[in-house]
Amino acid sequence: MLKFSYGISNFHRIITANFFFVDRTKHIQLIEDAGDQLLFLRPRRFGKSLLLSMLENYYDVAKADEFERLFGNLAIGQNPTPLHNQYLIMKWDFSVINAQGEIADLKHALHDHLNDSIQDFAVRYQNLLQYQIKINPQNAVSSFESALTAIKQTPYRLYLLIDEYDNFANEVMMGRGKISPSRYKALLSAEGSLKTFFRAVKSASSGRGLF
């Protein structure tokens, strides 16, 4: 009897719990060939989150011992790329950020989520990081910079996955059920919090530890 994974976007769970999985892992090579910074524009419910989860499990250095278990029976397991299990993985999931409230509330929620993600990263890779990451509760960009400093002391680079950015942006735009361009602009203007974060990400990709 087939077990279908409708609504499940956790690749590790799907494989280890023997859910039905349509093998698209051969596309990993195509993704690598496409470039370093990629934006997926597929519609909602088209498997973007599952794709990111698959990439997370494929590239995570901490899951090298599970490679055969997770990918051995899949296409990429028969012909893996040299980059598998070679990165430290950080994931930001914008769907969990509360997009309600005033601009100050949005900024606070954004900083909290990124700080929580960076703290999770620090705990997961504590055995590989010689430098202690400093979390700045008021400034997640500072926390991210501290993480980059720690990463540069290792032989690895960071693979950053960002999920549901479009969902968060839509929720911000539709504040309290009404279209609110001012809320959206406040976050994405040149001085906006979200734009500031992505400037930090762009800077990190210029030889500062980000893949």
What tens digit of pLDDT does each residue of 57-102 get? 999 999 999 999 999 999 999 999 999 999 999 999 988 888 777 7
pLDDT given for residue 60 in this prediction: 98
Lowest mean pLDDT among 21-30, 145-154, 164-173: 164-173
74, 198 Cβ separation under 8 angstroms:
no
Q: Which helix (H) or strand (E) holds 161?
A: strand 157-163
Percent share of the chain, pLDDT over 90: 50
Rounded to two decimals, what is the model's pTM?
A: 0.84
- The pLDDT confidence band at residue 202, using thresholds 50, 70 and 90, is confident
In contact, 5 and 19? CB cutoff 8 Å: yes
Q: Could you tell me the residue ranges of all domains in the chain?
A: 1-85, 86-211
Res 156: pLDDT: 95
Q: Does residue 50 contact residue 20 with C-beta atoms inside 8 Å?
A: no
Orientation angle between helical segments 193-204 and 181-188, nearest 10 degrees: 30
Higher pLDDT, 171 or 48: 48
Average pLDDT in the 191-209 region? 78
CB neighbour burial string for 100-125, b if at least 16 within 10 angstroms, e if fewer:
eeebeebbbbbbebbbebbeebbeeb
**Angstrom distances, CA of residue 67 to CA of 42, 64, 89, 128, 177:** 27, 5, 15, 19, 45
Instruction: Tell me the CA end-to-end span of the chain in Å, nearest whole number.
Output: 41
Question: 121, 147 in Cβ contact below 8 A?
Answer: yes
- For residues 106-111, give the mean pLDDT: 87
Say yes or no to pLDDT of 43 above 60.
no
